[in-house]
Each structure stands twice: as structure tokens, then as C-alpha cells.
Structure 1
Amino acid sequence: MFHRKNLGILGAGTSEKARALVDRISPGTNSSLVKALKKVSGNSENFKIKEELPEIEEFREENKKEKPEGNTEDRTEENKKEKTEENSKPGSKIGPETDFKTGKLNKLAAGSYTSFFNMETPSGDEFIRLIDWLDRKREEKGASDVTDIRNLSTLPSYQAELKKIVTENRAYELRKALEYIEYRKVLLITGIGGMGKSTLARALTDFRPVGVPEPFYFDFSRNRDAKLGDVLEKLASCLGAPEIADFRKERRAAGEVDVGKLIAELKKRSQSWLLFDGLEFMLEDRRFLEEGMEMFFSALSCSTHNAKILITSRVRPVLKNGESLDEAGEAGENLRLFGLRTGFAVKYLTGKGLSCTEPDILEELAAGVDGHPLALKLLAEFVKKSGDIEAREALSICREREEDAAKKAKKLFDGLAGDEKELLGRISVYRKPADIKALKMMFTEKTPANAVTRLLERSLLETDSCGNYWIQPLIMEFASRGLENKEEAHMLACKYYLSTDLPENPGKKEELSLAIEAHHHACEAGAYDLGAWVIYRSNLYLLLDLWGDSGTLAELYGRLLPEDPFKGEVLLRKEIKGFVFGNSGLTCSRLGYLKKAVEYYEQALKIARETEDWRGEGNRLGNLGNAYLQLGDPEKAIQYYEQILEIHRKIDDRNRESADLGNLGLAYSRLKEPEKAIKYFEQALNIARETGDRRGEGKRLGNLGKAYIQLEDPGKAIDFFKKSLTIGKELNDPGIIRFCEQELKWLEAGS
């Protein structure tokens, strides 16, 4: 059955051609494959035998040199034992109907994807040889063939030692995952924390077809505040398709239309791989925290495109309709990871320096943590520190309580952390990799000078080539549970981030990440005034709005306010409260929540009047006018515009007076009173010319053109639009240019 499926997808021609191909791939193939070949016929157009055979033959010959062919019945007793264990795994497809006997993997790397033949339990060495062969082929192919991805994301580190461990210990899971991803768009890898989901997903990327560029990678564990716009912006850069991130230029939140642009881009490509790691950080009770993120993954799962999507998550996400993500469409599939088999686990412990420990004791220890990879790592360090007797006693207590592998890992962590446990807990408040200065910020008078080195030696702390330190997510959870004074640690983290310098002219959100982290830690420490000051001091409120990232702004303001900001106690000074309420209203307006925006504006207006903040009062009146105009209530908008006009005339703010008059003109246009609208537009135009406000002048000329259309005077309308267009081109203002060109085109077509 599996052979027929493979050959059918390859588009085999006549049975004779198919048999000839397989004879060259695997001489002496078994009878089940021969039977499958007899059922393959027709559809010879897609069978690229001339292109594929040279590469198949080359890999076949290389395998012959490295490993002589022989009867697979001569396998060792150990291999037979591993085969028996594997066949007992849940979901195993090995059986009479798919009677693989060669024990070898032959690779077809031509065409759109990889087709595997003879895929029964290939060994780690065979996988390694295959990866090396693929890497060599990619080098030969050269960068010129993969220019469709221009800005590669950085995949997790994958050293040779780890690669060997994965290919040996996860051969079954690799084979199963490769079968899934061959025919499906989405592969969801689940399992408890520390089970090796990220590592397996990373390993799978080595088996992508030769012509497919390095995969796009996004780690939610290190981007826990990520919104749909953040992911799409990175994808736009990676794929070299800036139109996917047009929402930034248009100063709006990312939505369905932008996801549609991504899907359209993926359809153009022969194939792309996208890896999303740690999706559980976007979930709460298995449901997505952000509607946009749910829509994004649902679209990737259900849409027709050529991308391969790898997702890791501790839990299976549930969509709004109650379905799991991997059930959203026929493409979805789920691979749940379990612990390593005992033999492999013992081999791992031996390689970690426990070669002197008795094999039966190692087996007992490995079984004690259910083969949980992270627990094995901690176990090795624990035994070296405390001895195997103490480790066995600790795990014995765990077994009596019938605790799962993660809880057993926590027990080992507690025994391993020792004097550095408090420091590790304080370091755990950092959400992103941090440098040594950040770590030393968490030192106390009692912290040993070599504390960081000791944590590294015990595998409780990791470091990368850039000199940054980070903690594995599950270890981070363990460490944070025992932290007594979290507020103090968060305050120190905030102090660290505030001590760093921001770029002079930031152009994207990533360049403001240090300020965003400072805000996060200030809020976690309960220092809400400081959190608001960070938004103001670093110009987050201006820059994120300019870049159209209203979703992030909404989250930043939301952290400063209670769940119900209009009833709950707001722990901010009154002046700061006015700033937060007013800007929260602007953000809600950008996101389309106009009624909620009005509530925020009304609170901000009340505070401005209480503190006699004339300028703040004017701003909030204008905001309310704009909101009601958008809500389709121009009469109410006029009431607010008239109040603000009086204030700006009183404080002699000519530019704002011009804007108020323009807004009044717009409101009367909405009321279908073009004569009154023209009166206000002309007053606004005169002030703009007096003050040298060319942009304001261009806008008012365009407003007048629109008003004369209402008066059914197209001649005057065209004249005003042309004058406005001239100014727009002079200033290179896309808004004015686009507006005038559209109106002129419509008018000229009508004439």
C-alpha cells in the first residue's frame, strides 16, 4: 500500500518503466513492492525518469561503497530487539502489508519533494550519510538556485554531537515525520516540555529537498509578545515579498487580506519550509490568545499552497470552532513525542560521563525518568554531583507518587541547582537571551564569582556563539517557581534594559525590543508609572503607531491598566493616566474599536479638565470628534470640533485651528451641506497659506475639490484636485497623490 502511494504520487508511467526504475534504485526488492508496481499504470507525463535516475544512481553507488549490501535477515540480535520495541510504538505502520526488509534508505531528491523507498527503521548512520549527501548536493547546486529567499532567519544551533544523538535515538520519529510531511502541508509535533520537539523539528529541516532554501524559523518562546503582524513582517522579509507587510505602511493592524497575500506568495513557489517553534506560548487552555494568530495558522493548514509547515507545541491547539489545529483540513497531522527507548537512553547517559556506572543501574535510572530527554540530561549531571544511589532514591519517591516525566525532571532540578538555585530563579525572569552584564545584574552579595560557570557545567544554563545566555523553557519554569521576590528581580531586569542604548533612528520593532522588555519588567514589578514612562521616553507610542503596529501598542497600554479600566482601580498618577487613556483610545481607533475608543477619550478628557491641561483637553475633544465622524454621527462630531476650535483660538495655535476648521468642513460634507463645508475649507486653506503649511494647503485644496463635486461643479473640482496634486508631488505625499489621482480619473471618465 505504501509503495503504491509513493509511486502514484511520483506519477509513474507504465509498469515496465516503474519496475525498471525501482530495479535501479533497489535491486532485489521485496515481493510486496513488485505487487505494488503491477498496480501502477498511466499518467506518465509527470514521471521525470531521465532527470531523477542519475541522482538516484549516484546516491545508490555511494551507499554501496560505504555499506556492502547483504541479506537483511543477517541483522544482529540487538537490531532485532530494537525492531520489536519500535513495532510496539503507538501508530507504527510496520506490518505484513508494508513488509520492508532491506533496512536501508534510498533517497530521491529530484522533483518537488523527497520520496523514500525501503524506509524500515533506517539507522542513525544511514540518516547521517543522507544528510551529508544532501548538504553536498546543496553546495553543488549553489546559492543562485535558491534566491527566492533573501533574508534567512536563524535556525537553532544543531551541533554534530546533537545530530548524532537525534538520528540514532529518534530514527523512528524521523521516519514517521518524513512520511507525514511527504504528503501533507502541516506537521504538528506535540509532547511535554523538554521532550525534544524543537530538536526533532530542526533535524527534519536537514531532510528538505535539495532545491529548497533554508527554512523560515520563528520561536514563540523568545517572542512571547508576538502578534500576527510580527510574524507576517518577518515572513515578508524572509520571502522577499514586501507586499505581505503593506499593513505597516498603511498604519493598520494585520488581517485576513495580509494572510491572503502570504498564501498567494507561497503558491508561486515550488516549495518553502516554515518552522514555528513553541506555539503553546500563544495559547491559553489550548485556545489562541489572539484571533489573528488563529486565523493565520488555520489559513496555512487549509489553503492550497506548496509550503511545508512544521509546528511544535506542548498541547494541541483548539480553534474557535472546537477543532484541533491538526484537524483543520485534510492536510493536518499530529506526531506526539514520547521518551527515548531504554537502550538509547542508557547510551546517552554513558556518553554523558556515566560509563563507570553499572548497566542495570543505568537502565533503572533511564526508565525512572521515562526516557525524557531533558530529564536524562539533568540526571547525568545529578549522578555526577550526588551519586547514583541518591538519584535512585529521588526517582523512587517520584514513582511512588506516579509523577510524570516533567515532575521527575523538576525533582532532579531541585537537587542539582544547589546554591545557584536563587540566582537561576532571578535569571529566569528574562524572556530573551541576555548577556553577562544582565546576568550579573541578578547577583547578590552571596553569589559566588563562578556561579555562571557552574550553571553552565550542570546544563542548567545555555550559551550561544554571540555571548548571550538563555535557559531552556522547562528549566525556566522550574527556576521561576522557587523565586520568592519576583518583583525585585523584574525591577533589576528593567534597570538593566534601561541602561542599554536604543538605536538613534529605529526603523522596525526589533530595534525597540529592549524598551519593550523594560516596559514588561516594570509592569511585572508593579511599577506602572515607570512602565508608562518607558513608552514615552523611548517614543514607542509614536514609532509603533507610525509603523502601523497598533496591536503591540494595545498590549503595552493594556499592561498598565486593570482588566476593566473604567471600573477597576488604575494604579497610575493622574497625569500619566490621562496620557495612557488618551493613547489607548487612539490605538483602539486604529484597530477599528471606535466605541471603546470613545470610552477612553471621555476618561482622558475628564482628567485633562481636572488638571487644567488645555492642550490635552483640545486633543481629546478632537479625538472624540474624529471618532463620532467615523461612527457616522457628524452632528455629534461638530459639537466637539466647535469646542476644540474655541480652545485653539484662545491659545493662538494657528496650525491646530486650521485642522479644526478642516474637520468642521468634513463633518458638514457628511451632512450633505457643501456650502457650509466650503466656508470652513476656505478658512482652513487661508491659515495654511499664512503659516506656510504646504501639506495642510494640499489637503484643503483636495477637500474643496470634493465639496464642489457635491455641488455638481466638476470644472472647479478638477481645478482644485490638480492644484492639490501638484503640492502632493512636490512633497512626495502618497496620501494626497493617491486621493487626487483617483478623483481626477473618476471625473475624467465621467466627462
Structure 2
Amino acid sequence: MKGYLEAFHHLFETSAWNQALKIVTINIMNYGNNQLHNQLFDWGYYREIAAFYQRFLDYLENLAPYYKTILLYGMGKVHYALGYLTKAINCYQQALELARTLPDNQQEGAILNGLGLVYFSLGNYTQAINCYEQDLAIAWKNDNRQGQAAALNNLGLVFCKQEKFCKAIKYQKESLRISRQSPDHSAEGRALGSLAQAYSGCKKYDRAIEYHQQHLTIMRRIENRAGEAEALCNLGITIATVKEVEFNQALKTEDYSEALKYLHEALKISREIGIRLTEANVLLNLTVIYQRLGERNLVFKYCQQALSITSELGIPLESLKHLG
């Protein structure tokens, strides 16, 4: 990785921008044939990647349309990861316009998937479904298995939030089946995490916890920090819910100890890599638990922190309920 990055910086400094981008988009065989910039994204180097993409923005006119599309799509992914949803939509829409001029429409599908994630995070399910269905049609046409798995999984997440749990599980199981046939283990992890949310909605908590734990194991193995934080957060939420269902009475701090452990781990990772939406979601779930425990000072502390993040990002606090 160090060698690739040194080559990139050398080419960039000599104004060989298209050649520099060839380095960035090179496939890394040891990491599921993932492109270099995507692998750095999976490792959670969002701020570094944002600075890296920013260097190219002044040179867009000098780049081939294919690389312009990759740059704008990548910047959209980074903005989304950091919680800047309006900026993400702007980058994705620019990338989509360019992608539709290219002979290969696989980039168009990936961009539509990213755009759908933003609308989903804002609770705009109609637009999210529209994006995912377009993405799925492109993936089927191109026999793009990874694209099929991503679109099916995300459609399942929307159905889950609409409480159409049987339909969600059907889509997510198909996503899991397809993703297990590819070298992209992160897709398998995401499908497991989504299935867990659907089973939790059905109140099948044992199965939900099992899938959350499998999701966490995969994300830790492939060092996907954002995926790890998401899995920890959702595992903590589910375990807390199970405790409340089992006891059906006022609980003590020790009853929530496992759930709090996972949520605080998720909070630590979220802050380390800068994923603000996940951080705010964890803070709100910590607020709920501490409110039930009567810890007024901690309730105030965590709720204020969540409010600060959502105010900074310009996102209504209630939108976070759509993230799970």
C-alpha cells in the first residue's frame, strides 16, 4: 500500500493526473480485488481520502470522464460517511450525470445505490426505493453479482423500516446467497446485519443476535471499521431490548452491562474515524438506556452531544430513527 501511495503522490506532483488516478483505481488482489481507494475507504480513512479527492477537484477539466465519475462518486461516499448528506447528494448527482454518458453503466448503478443510501438515511423511502430498483435493473443486465447483492440488501432494509419484515427477509436472504459467492466479504457482513434487523423487528431476538454477531465477526476480520461500529451498535440495541422483554420490570445497570459495552465500543470507533451519523445514533441509544436507569446527568450529556452533531450536519434529530 505504501508503494502505491508513493507512486500516486509522485505522479500527481508531475501533473500526470490520469496516471495518478490509475494508481488509485488499481485492484488490490489480497483484499477481494478491491480498488485501492475503496479499500482505504473500508478501513475508515475518510478524512485522508477526502483530502486526497479534494486535490483533484481543481483539475476536473483535465480528467477523462471515467475518472471524473470515480472522483465525484468517491467524494459522495466520503461525504455520506461523514454525515454531510446534502454534499453527498450534490456529488452523487454530478457523478450520475457523467456516468450516464459512459458506455459502461456499472458506475451508474453504484452511484444510484449510494444516492439511495442518502435518501434512506433521511427517511425518504420512495426515492430510496426508486434508486435501488434502478440499480438492481442495471446489475441484472450486466450480471453484476455484487451490484445485485447491494441493491437487494438495501431494498430489504427499506422494507424492514416499513415493517414489511417477511418481504425484507426474502430480499436479504437472496442478497446473502449472492454475496457469499463473491470475494466481497463486506457485502456478506452487511446482508447478515440487515437480516438481524429484520428478525429483531419480528421479535425473533435469538436469531437477530446470532446474525449481528456474525456481522461483527466478519467486519473485524476484514478491518472494516464503519461496519464494525454499526454491528456493535445494533448488537447493543438488540441485547438491551431482549433484557427489557425478559424482565418486564425496572432494570439495574448490571442488566444493561453487555449492551452498554457494545454501544461504548461503537461510540469509540465512530469518533475515531469520524462517522457522525453512527455516532449520533449510538448517543441516542445510550440516552434511552440511561433514561431507563434514571441516570439524569448521563441522559443530558449524551442527548446534548447527539443534538450538537445533528445541528452541525443540518439533520433533524428524529431522522436518526430511520438508521436502525
Same fold (TM over 0.5): yes
What SS is found at the alignment partner of 1:657? helix
Report what 1:748 is aligned to: 242
Report what 1:725 is aligned to: 213
Is the contact made by 1:582 and 1:604 (CA closer than 8 Å) also made in structure 2?
yes
What SS is found at the alignment partner of 1:579? helix
Letter matched to residue 80 of structure 2: S
Greater helix share, structure number: 2
The residue correspondences of 1:696-707 to structure 2 (distance < 5 A) are: 696=187, 699-707=190-198
Report what 1:687 is aligned to: 178
Residue 638 of structure 1 deviates from its aligned partner by 0.8
Is the contact made by 2:192 and 2:214 (CA closer than 8 Å) also made in structure 1?
no
Report what 1:532 is aligned to: 21
What SS is found at the alignment partner of 2:57? coil
Give me the whole-angstrom Cα distance separating, in 2, the residues matched to 1:554 and 1:688. 28
What SS is found at the alignment partner of 2:72? helix
Residue 724 of structure 1 deviates from its aligned partner by 4.9
Give me the whole-angstrom Cα distance separating, in 2, the residues matched to 1:691 and 1:514. 30
Residue 664 of structure 1 deviates from its aligned partner by 0.4
What SS is found at the alignment partner of 2:149? helix
Letter matched to residue 623 of structure 1: G
Note the alpha carbon deviations across 1:177-200, whole angstroms, 9 max, x for none.
Answer: xxxxxxxxxxxxxxxxxxxxxxxx
Give 1:663's match in structure 2, choosing from 154, 166, 169.
Answer: 154
| Overall identity of the aligned pairs, in % | 29
Give me the whole-angstrom Cα distance separating, in 2, the residues matched to 1:645 and 1:663. 10
Report what 1:98 is aligned to: none
Letter matched to residue 749 of structure 1: K
Give 2:13's match in structure 1, choosing from 521, 534, 550.
Answer: 521
Give 2:127's match in structure 1, choosing from 623, 627, 636.
Answer: 636
What SS is found at the alignment partner of 1:559? helix
Residue 578 of structure 1 deviates from its aligned partner by 1.5
CA 1:534–1:694 in 2, change beyond 3 Å: closer, same or farther? closer
Give me the whole-angstrom Cα distance separating, in 2, the residues matched to 1:695 and 1:512. 23
CA 1:723–1:593 in 2, change beyond 3 Å: closer, same or farther? closer
**Bigger Cα displacement from structure 2, 631-640 vs 649-658:** 649-658
Is the contact made by 2:216 and 2:232 (CA closer than 8 Å) also made in structure 1?
no
Residue 617 of structure 1 deviates from its aligned partner by 1.4
Does 1:576 pair with 2:67? Answer: yes
Residue 572 of structure 1 deviates from its aligned partner by 1.7
Give me the whole-angstrom Cα distance separating, in 1, the residues matched to 2:93 and 2:233. 32
Is the contact made by 1:729 and 1:737 (CA closer than 8 Å) also made in structure 2?
no
Letter matched to residue 84 of structure 2: Y
CA 1:659–1:533 in 2, change beyond 3 Å: closer, same or farther? closer
Does 1:619 pair with 2:110? Answer: yes
Letter matched to residue 555 of structure 1: A
Give 2:41's match in structure 1, choosing from 537, 540, 545.
Answer: 545
Report what 1:586 is aligned to: 77
Is the contact made by 2:155 and 2:171 (CA closer than 8 Å) also made in structure 1?
yes
Letter matched to residue 99 of structure 2: A
Report what 1:609 is aligned to: 100
Give me the whole-angstrom Cα distance separating, in 2, the residues matched to 1:698 and 1:576. 29
Note the alpha carbon deviations across 1:241-292, whole angstroms, 9 max, x for none.
Answer: xxxxxxxxxxxxxxxxxxxxxxxxxxxxxxxxxxxxxxxxxxxxxxxxxxxx
CA 1:660–1:695 in 2, change beyond 3 Å: closer, same or farther? same
CA 1:649–1:700 in 2, change beyond 3 Å: closer, same or farther? same
Give 1:738's match in structure 2, choosing from 232, 248, 255.
Answer: 232
Give 1:555's match in structure 2, choosing from 13, 29, 51.
Answer: 51
Report what 2:89 is aligned to: 598
CA 1:724–1:637 in 2, change beyond 3 Å: closer, same or farther? same
Give me the whole-angstrom Cα distance separating, in 2, the residues matched to 1:516 and 1:690. 32
Is the contact made by 2:185 and 2:218 (CA closer than 8 Å) also made in structure 1?
no
CA 1:611–1:687 in 2, change beyond 3 Å: closer, same or farther? closer
CA 1:627–1:730 in 2, change beyond 3 Å: closer, same or farther? closer
Report what 2:136 is aligned to: 645
Residue 656 of structure 1 deviates from its aligned partner by 2.7
Residue 594 of structure 1 deviates from its aligned partner by 1.9
What SS is found at the alignment partner of 2:62? coil
Give me the whole-angstrom Cα distance separating, in 2, the residues matched to 1:559 and 1:727. 35
Give me the whole-angstrom Cα distance separating, in 2, the residues matched to 1:644 and 1:721. 30
Is the contact made by 1:605 and 1:617 (CA closer than 8 Å) also made in structure 2?
yes
The residue correspondences of 1:132-147 to structure 2 (distance < 5 A) are: none
When the two structures are aligned, how many residues end up with a matched partner? 232
Residue 625 of structure 1 deviates from its aligned partner by 1.0
CA 1:663–1:514 in 2, change beyond 3 Å: closer, same or farther? same
Residue 639 of structure 1 deviates from its aligned partner by 0.4
Is the contact made by 2:110 and 2:147 (CA closer than 8 Å) also made in structure 1?
no
Is the contact made by 2:72 and 2:92 (CA closer than 8 Å) also made in structure 1?
yes
User: For structure 2, which runs of at least 5 residues remain unmatched after alignment?
Assistant: 28-34, 222-226, 247-324
CA 1:688–1:577 in 2, change beyond 3 Å: closer, same or farther? closer
Is the contact made by 1:662 and 1:681 (CA closer than 8 Å) also made in structure 2?
yes
CA 1:588–1:703 in 2, change beyond 3 Å: closer, same or farther? closer
Letter matched to residue 648 of structure 1: A
CA 1:741–1:640 in 2, change beyond 3 Å: closer, same or farther? closer
Give me the whole-angstrom Cα distance separating, in 1, the residues matched to 2:22 and 2:85. 26
CA 1:547–1:516 in 2, change beyond 3 Å: closer, same or farther? farther
Larger relative contact order (Cα-Cα within 8 Å, sequence gap ≥ 6) = 2
Note the alpha carbon deviations across 1:372-404, whole angstroms, 9 max, x for none.
Answer: xxxxxxxxxxxxxxxxxxxxxxxxxxxxxxxxx
Give me the whole-angstrom Cα distance separating, in 2, the residues matched to 1:536 and 1:727. 27
Residue 573 of structure 1 deviates from its aligned partner by 1.8
RMSD: 3.4
Give me the whole-angstrom Cα distance separating, in 2, the residues matched to 1:717 and 1:640. 31
Letter matched to residue 717 of structure 1: Y
Letter matched to residue 633 of structure 1: N
Letter matched to residue 549 of structure 1: Y
